[in-house]
Amino acid sequence: MKISIPSKRILFLGYGAVAKCVWNYFDTYLTCLRKHVTLVDKNKDAFYGPNIKGIRKLILDVNATTINDLVDSLHMKEGDVIIDLTSSSATYYFIKLCFRRGFHYINTSIEDTNDVMLGTSIDCQQKTVRDIAYAERHAIRSTILTECGQNPGLIQHYVLHALQQLSGVKMIKNPTEKRRVLKKVIQDHKIGSILMSEIDNMKVNKPIEKPLIYNTWSSVGFLVEALDKTEVVGGGINNTFIKPVIPTTEWNTTSMNIHQNIMTKHPYQILFLKKSALQTTLNSICPILNEQGQVEFTNYRGRLIHHGEVFELARYFGKDAPFMSYVYKNSPYMDESIRRFNTISKEVDDLWLYIHQDNSCHVFDNIKRKNDSDTFHLHGHDSIGCTLFCGEEKVEHIYWCGSILSDTDHIDPHFTPTVVQVTAGVLSGLSYILEEKNSALGWIEPIDIDTDYMLEKSIPLLGKFFFTEIPVDAFSGSFDYSTIL
């Protein structure tokens, strides 16, 4: 059922690939007045794509010094909505503003430009937002939902759904009882590791020749994550089951000591590694589609990208938390772009500087613009879910829950499966916070939302969504950690 919000003004901060897709599918989930919608981006070339004729568009670098004047100029009032799909912006200030002005707010990641002061630890980012919410707790007039895209966002609910399937209990409505049951499932099934597993299997229709950084979603967004130092959940103190072994020589003990000094003591371990996510890998296994469109399992080695879901889940499971990390086999075009760049310079800082230059990146968004000879068209699929490894001394059972979305599924051909999967999380979370009964909850995280609600809302955009057991003998790799240059 769609939610009607005709009186609310809606402000999109950032109009990249995800924002274009969110607006494209917006009226599938919500009904609004087009005259109340404003799209803002600092890049004048961002305003293309379907369904934007007649929508207000503003070219502006939105930051802590410009956003107040922006919302005032748009006559935004209590109950209006900010959809923040920017990267490296003033996230913390935006959140404070929304608390104080009573705006509803959603984002897909916490990427404040000040995070460099904290070493861009996501566990610290989440604590910072928690501290802001605590400071603003006296005047709650709206709902602020952070990190609700696909990963983080929906993927937390893939984990919770998988555990509920293993519990054999179909309906657990009481949140306290649900957490107790799911923690017991971890112990009963000896779940020692949960790897958030994604394989980008998208291919383009012609060779790539220009010396750009290519990706199937935001090139800058990926590298912002991938160039951060690796940060994983090492596991809870009560979880003694199968886990990857990361040598202590790879640990960044300085960061770990700093982290322990500024964070509340956790009943689980946070590991910081010396190398960036671009350079650290683990094995996992994930279902993909073969050339006949049938599901088959594949082993792969993926990068350890830090995402909010593993820290959110770690707090949820506490002492019983498994080892958790994202393990991402990213687009081969991103890998090729980096290899090309490394023939020029092997310095990570040089790559970071390069991606912030104008016209240095290209996102395959399948939206053909007039006279644009550089438009590529992607086909294929994206597999994203959670892989649960069970056992004590060795892997005894493996389970997977997630989404495989293909360009042959019923999705708008303008958008890639990767972007549509993120959109499913954004619009499902946005629907939740705009339900009248949820209109003044203060700060919430995706895990605070009912799993059945999130899945019911999102499954229409997830292609093949399923829970399955993976035969143990299909997993050919061990949990060997390795680094790459």
Shared domain check, 163 and 58: no
Query: Which of 115, 145, 175 is the C-terminal boundary of a domain?
Result: 145
Helix (H) or strand (E) holding 359: none
Instruction: Report the C-alpha gap between 426 and 18 in whole angstroms.
Output: 9
Distance of CA 94 to the CA centre of its chain: 19
> pLDDT tens digits, the chain, 485 residues: what are they?
899 999 999 999 999 989 999 999 999 999 999 999 999 999 898 999 999 999 999 999 999 999 999 999 999 999 999 999 998 889 999 999 999 999 999 999 998 887 765 557 899 999 999 999 999 999 899 999 999 999 999 999 999 999 999 998 877 888 899 999 999 999 999 999 999 999 999 988 777 777 788 888 888 888 888 888 899 999 999 999 999 999 999 999 998 988 887 787 899 999 999 998 989 999 999 999 998 889 999 999 999 999 999 999 999 999 999 999 999 999 998 988 888 877 655 666 677 677 666 678 888 877 765 445 556 678 899 999 999 999 998 999 999 999 999 988 988 888 889 999 999 999 999 999 999 999 999 999 999 999 999 999 999 999 999 999 999 999 987 878 888 75
Cβ atoms < 10 Å from Cβ of 425 = 30
Shared domain check, 180 and 136: no
3-state secondary structure of 197: strand
Query: Which of 145, 163, 184 is the C-terminal boundary of a domain?
Result: 145
Shared domain check, 388 and 250: yes
Residues 6 or more apart in contact with residue 53 via CB below 8 angstroms: none
Of 61, 75, 66, 144, nearest in space to 110 by CA: 144
DSSP, residue by residue, 168-193: T-S----HHHHHHHHHHHHHHTTEEE
Query: What's the pLDDT tens digit per position in 452-472?
Result: 999 999 999 999 999 999 999
Shared domain check, 30 and 134: yes
Instruction: Report the C-alpha gap between 60 and 136 in whole angstroms.
Output: 28
CATH of the domain at 78: 3.40.50.720
Is residue 396 packed enough to be buried (19+ CB in 10 Å), middle (13-18) or exposed (0-12)? Answer: middle
Shared domain check, 161 and 137: no
Shared domain check, 392 and 308: yes
Q: Which residue has the tokens 């990361």?
A: 246
Percent of the chain with pLDDT over 70: 94
Query: What's the pLDDT tens digit per position in 27-57?
Result: 999 999 999 999 999 989 899 999 999 999 9
Buried b / exposed e along 456-476 (16+ C-beta atoms within 10 A): ebbebbbbbbebeebeeeebe
Decide if 7 is inside a domain: yes
pTM of the model: 0.94
Query: Which of 145, 172, 194 is the C-terminal boundary of a domain?
Result: 145
CATH of the domain at 264: 3.30.360.30
DSSP, residue by residue, 75-128: T--TT-EEEE--SSB-HHHHHHHHHHHT-EEEES---BGGGGGGTT-HHHHHHH
List the beta bridge partners of residue 30: 3
Domain count, the chain: 2
Instruction: Report the C-alpha gap between 434 and 29 in whole angstroms.
Output: 11
Decide if 150 is inside a domain: no
φ/ψ (deg, to 5) at 208: -100, 125
Shared domain check, 119 and 26: yes
Query: What's the pLDDT tens digit per position in 268-322?
Result: 999 999 998 989 999 999 999 998 889 999 999 999 999 999 999 999 999 999 9
φ/ψ (deg, to 5) at 246: -105, 115
Decide if 177 is inside a domain: yes
Of 69, 5, 74, nearest in space to 38 by CA: 74
Overall residue count recorded for the chain in this entry: 485
Please give the sequence-ordered ranges of beta strands (E in DSSP) within 322-376, or none if there are none.
323-329, 361-363
Structure tokens at 236: 């809870």
Which residue range forms the structural domain that includes residue 401?
A: 155-417+459-483
Shared domain check, 258 and 212: yes
Shared domain check, 280 and 132: no
Terminal Cα-to-Cα distance of the chain (whole angstroms): 49
Shared domain check, 397 and 267: yes
Shared domain check, 164 and 135: no
Shared domain check, 294 and 201: yes
